[in-house]
Amino acid sequence: MFELPDHEDVATITITEEVVAEGAEPVMLSRSEAKKLHKKTA
């Protein structure tokens, strides 16, 4: 399991099949990374 409260700058978390099936870490996207991606796609 992961600890989201330790990460105050997280915008999104993606739970993949690997997270569920294999115990991999979820993909966490920070607010600053999300803003960069939004600018590229806008």
* Digit-coded pLDDT (tens) for 1-42: 556 667 788 888 899 999 999 999 888 899 999 888 888 776
State the pLDDT at residue 3.
Answer: 67
Domain ranges of the chain: 4-41
Would the pTM of this model clear 0.85, i.e. be above it?
no
Angle at 19 between CA 14 and CA 23, to 5 degrees: 150
State the pLDDT at residue 19.
Answer: 93
State the pLDDT at residue 38.
Answer: 82
State the pLDDT at residue 6.
Answer: 75
Element (H, E) at 23: none
